[in-house]
Amino acid sequence: MTAYLRKTKDRTPRPAAFLDRDGTIVHDRPGFYLTDPAALRIYGTAPAALRAISALGYRLIIITNQAGIGRGYMTLARSKAVNRELRRRLERAGVKLDAIYFCPHHPDAGCGCRKPRGGMIEEAVKNHPIDLSRSVVIGDKTCDMKLAELFRLRSVLVRTGHGRSELAEHPGLARGRAVKKDLAAAAAWLRGKA
């Protein structure tokens, strides 16, 4: 499930920002899978937002469901290529990700890693010194928010990607959590909580 894991000598427990990928950091077209690295489009404000979140002391860990692999729309190698391209572009913009984890399974596979199940966060905790009590989940879907609830983490629902439609379909989703315009607004919210 690991696409990228940055080795670090820093063994100090730090909070993590568990970040959804599609619809939160990169543009997401509903009904389409991102299968081509050349088609990757990062939201314009995302790199600065990620730098700001990192500057607050958070580890940057992407956790993303990629059912397109299990459905046969793309290969595992193709999905890894998309993640490598994302990492490369973010590094050029001064963002160092700590890890990218993805679930490649079909939604009906019953795996333990597909959000809202906790396998990807559990794997991250094994690989990084993470202070879960101060960590946060940021994403655009109900599954991201349910994942946060599973671990009793703070959560931010962004209105980009599927965020607006998820809120329209599930009005109660806004209760008890921050709802922000985009990742930049989520970073500003975290800065206010630091």
- What does the chain come to in residues? 194
Question: Tens digit of pLDDT for each residue in 125-167?
Answer: 999 999 999 999 999 999 999 999 999 999 999 999 999 999 9
20 is catalytic: yes
Find the catalytic residue in 10, 22, 98, 108: 22
Domain count of the fold of the chain: 1
pTM tops 0.85: yes
Torsion of Cα atoms, 162 then 172 then 178 then 62, to 10°:
-40
What letter represents residue 104's amino acid? P
- Three-state DSSP state, 13: coil
* Structural domain boundaries, residue 14: 2-193
Is pLDDT above 80 for 1?
no
Question: Tens digit of pLDDT for each residue in 69-117?
Answer: 999 999 999 999 999 999 999 999 999 999 999 999 999 999 999 999 9
CA nearest to 142, candidates 103, 172, 185, 100: 172
Find the catalytic residue in 10, 20, 140, 144: 20
According to DSSP, residue 22 is labeled: B
10 is catalytic: no
- Whichever domain contains 60, its CATH number is 3.40.50.1000
